Amino acid sequence: MLTQEQIEQLEAFDAQGARVLSVYLDLDPASQIRRSYRIAFEDLVKALRARLEGQEQADLSREVERVQTWLDSQDPRGKGLAVFSCTPRGLWHASFFAVRVMNHLAFEPTPDVAPLLRLVDEYERYAVAVVDKERARLFTVFLGEIEEMEEFKDFVIGKHRQGGVSDARYQRHHETHVYWHLKRVAQRLAELHRRRRFDRLILAGPEEATTELRRVLPRALAHRVAAVIPAEVFASEREILDKTLEVERRIERESEERLVRQLVDLAGPGGRAILGVRPTLAALWADLVQTLVVAHSVRGDGSECPNCLRLEPGRVESCPTCGAAMRHLHDIYHRAMERAVDQAGSVEVVYGEAERHLVDVGGGLGALLRYASPVPQAAVR
């Protein structure tokens, strides 16, 4: 995973007149059935090469060959990949991600880090506090990986008295030490939040410890508690990550279901949403899309006009608008996502129940619009 410092270094990179090839590839196994990342890369290169001439094409070929050679030597890891290459200036950086990225290619005087910045902006950072009455382990999880971890132990006297100390007094001493320990955990979480701001907080451990910790959290952190779950304080990092991702997926699915319901509620004549493949592609062509919503499982070929950029589902020989020969696309849905991002819109891929609902009502494609539109609302399934 790229760190913020590495992203800033890429932003500041000076190619001194050369060009940088920036490659983003979707490696999600679920997307490789009909369209592998290698085919996606070749299609992106072909489209880019058609826009270049002379020496620029030769320079592109050099960088493409370098990336292809590297890809041949790699077993894909995770769900996404970013590569930056500039042979004349000695730049090479490749990072795998535990989350999906959108297929994208750029050959510019500077590294194209815009997709990375969008990734950082779109994903939420989770903090996890795994506690018992004397130990604590604090994690941050971002982009599907553990970023940071710290652990500590405080002295807490046992629950059973020793010598002549009364049971009640000894129990109060024990409870006071537990309180001090959990208060320290809350303070360390506040420090962590100042250093590496997180969006949601998960409390994990025995119920007695997590209940007391939640009670002593500062209000700003208490509002961020997304889940309280049982866990052993000695659980492995893999177990902690899996539990965190399970909570994250649940929250994401709930958000996606709300989004699809919003699409359905707002769609209609003069509405601020649209449903259906052809109407949504028409809205993209008109630059009306604020948020494109795509069902994860949908695939389908399509056509794109290289002249006016109109998108159509299926194979269309000539553009219905300008008459130019249409270019065939292996995956019209993926191209729609790229187009939405190019237009400064956002993309939401939905799964599970939200995915099934969107397929039923709109063939797997819909959008929230920047403003009400007269685009026809008939769904094309």
What is the pLDDT at residue 381?
Answer: 38
What is the pLDDT at residue 33?
Answer: 52
Question: Which superfamily does 4-121 belong to?
Answer: eRF1 domain 1 (3.30.960.10)
Judged against a pLDDT cut of 80, whether residue 123 lies above it is answered with: yes
CATH architecture of 255-369: 2-Layer Sandwich (3.30)
Residue 318: CB partners within 8 Å, gap ≥ 6?
A: 324, 325, 326
Global pTM? 0.80
Percent of the chain with pLDDT over 90: 69
Q: Write the DSSP symbol of residue 87.
A: G
How confident is the model over 245-296, as pLDDT tens digits? 999 999 999 999 999 999 999 998 889 999 999 999 999 999 999 999 999 8
Quickly list DSSP for 95-154.
EEESS----EEEEESS---HHHHHHHHHSPPEEEEEE-SSEEEEEEEETTEEEEEEEEE-
What is the pLDDT at residue 175?
Answer: 82
Residue type present at position 33? I
Q: Mean per-residue pLDDT for 215-223?
A: 97
**Sheet hosting strand 346-350, strand order edge to edge:** 273-275, 365-369, 289-295, 346-350
Residue boundaries of the structural domains of the chain: 4-121, 126-235, 255-369
CA distance linking residue 137 with residue 149, whole number of Å: 7
What is the pLDDT at residue 170?
Answer: 64
Q: What's the pLDDT band for 378 if we cut at 50, 70, 90?
A: very low
Q: What's the pLDDT band for 367 if we cut at 50, 70, 90?
A: very high
How confident is the model over 46-98, as pLDDT tens digits? 989 988 888 999 999 999 999 999 998 988 888 999 999 999 999 999 999 99
User: Average pLDDT, whole number, for the chain?
Assistant: 90
What is the pLDDT at residue 32?
Answer: 54
Q: What's the pLDDT band for 34 if we cut at 50, 70, 90?
A: very low
How confident is the model over 302-315, as pLDDT tens digits? 999 999 999 999 99
Q: Averaging pLDDT over each range in 25-34, 35-44, 156-165, which range is the top one?
A: 35-44
Whether 84 contacts 93, CB under 8 Å: yes
CA 289 to chain centre: 20
CA distance linking residue 314 with residue 331, whole number of Å: 10
Query: What would the CATH number be for the domain defined by 126-235?
Result: 3.30.420.60
Query: E strands within the chain?
Result: 20-26, 80-86, 91-97, 104-108, 126-131, 135-142, 145-153, 200-204, 225-229, 273-275, 289-295, 302-304, 311-313, 327-329, 346-350, 365-369
Percent of the chain with pLDDT over 70: 92
Whether 137 contacts 233, CB under 8 Å: yes
